[in-house]
Every structure is written in structure tokens, then in C-alpha cells.
Amino acid sequence: MMTAEAITVFLQVFIGLGSGLVVGSGFVAFLTVLGIIPRLIQLSKSYRSLPSYQFSVIAGALLGTYFTFTDVTIQLPLILVSFWGLLHGVFIGMLAAALTEVLNVFPILLKRLGIDKELLWLLMAIVIGKIVGSLFQWLIFVEII
């Protein structure tokens, strides 16, 4: 009986560790391919802080994992909750921008249509579209569906 239990426990630990390993490395690889961290370093000229940024990503992933499985709650003021939401948005925005760039959408569009100077306006179209779409969804659309 004891050995059977020990084996299932060992299996669970093994499977958990294995899946965590794969998901974790995949997550980091995804972030690396999109080049968000290099972009932020370039903007802030903080090349030396790269190790701390790496640590921050790992700590964040672990924190998220903890949040996923815990039931503990804390009482944060709404302003801090909003700040949390803002950070979330900036991150997803950078993710979306990086994805668009990887797909090479803009250069092709601009070349095909011969519009070089209107680049900024096209960018703004996407930015505004994202904000409006997101607000519409949270304020109205979630009620309808």
C-alpha cells in the first residue's frame, strides 16, 4: 500500500516538474523571440540591469502561478488595482505590437500602397482600435454575450 502511494506521489511530482519545465522554458523563449525586454532596455538605456529584469520575469511567473492556485485575498485600495491593470495593459500592448512587427505587416502595406508619410496614422489606427475594442468589450460586450 505504502509503495503504491509513494509511486503515485513520485509520478505526480515528476509530471508536475516536467510540465513546469517545458511551460517555463516556452514562456521565456516566447518573450525572447518577441524582443520586448531588449526594447525596454534600449528605451531606458539600462543595459547593466539585464540580470535583474530576468529575475523579475521569473519572479513574476512564479507569482502568477501562486495566484492561480491560491485562495488567499488581500485588501488593496482601488487605485493600486488600477495601477495593476495599467501595467497589465502596457505589457499586452507591447506583446501585440511585437507580434505585428514580427509578421512584417507594415512594410508590405506601406510599399504596396505607396504611403510612407501616413505610417504614423496607420499605427494610430491600430492603437485606437485596440483601446476602443478593449473598452467596448469590458463595458458592454461582456453583458451581451
Partner 1 sequence: MSEDKVYIRLKKKITAKQNQYITLKDIAFITGNIEYLDELGAVPIYQITEADKNISVIDGFQLLEVMVQAYPLLSIELLGTNQVIVEIPKQAKKVSVPIIFLIWLLMCVGSAMAIMNFHYDVSMQEVQQGIYYLLTGERVNKPLWLQIPYSIGLGLGMILFFNHLFKKRFNEEPSPLEIEVFNYQQDLDQYVIQHENALNKHDDS
Binding site for partner 1 (CB under 8 A): 35-36, 39, 42-43, 67, 70, 72-76, 78, 80-98, 101, 104, 106-111, 113-115, 118-139, 141-142
Whichever of 11 and 111 has its CB closer to partner 1, that residue is: 111
Residue-wise over 71-101: b if at least 16 C-beta within 10 A, else e?
eeeeeeeeeeeeeeeeeeeeeeebeebbeee
Whichever of 12 and 46 has its CB closer to partner 1, that residue is: 46
CB of 55 to partner 1, least distance (A): 21
Whichever of 1 and 120 has its CB closer to partner 1, that residue is: 120
For Cα atoms 129, 120, 40, give the angle at the middle one, nearest 5 degrees. 85
CB of 51 to partner 1, least distance (A): 22
Alpha-carbon distance of 122 to 110, in angstroms, equals: 10
Whichever of 45 and 48 has its CB closer to partner 1, that residue is: 45
Alpha-carbon distance of 28 to 36, in angstroms, equals: 11
CB of 72 to partner 1, least distance (A): 7
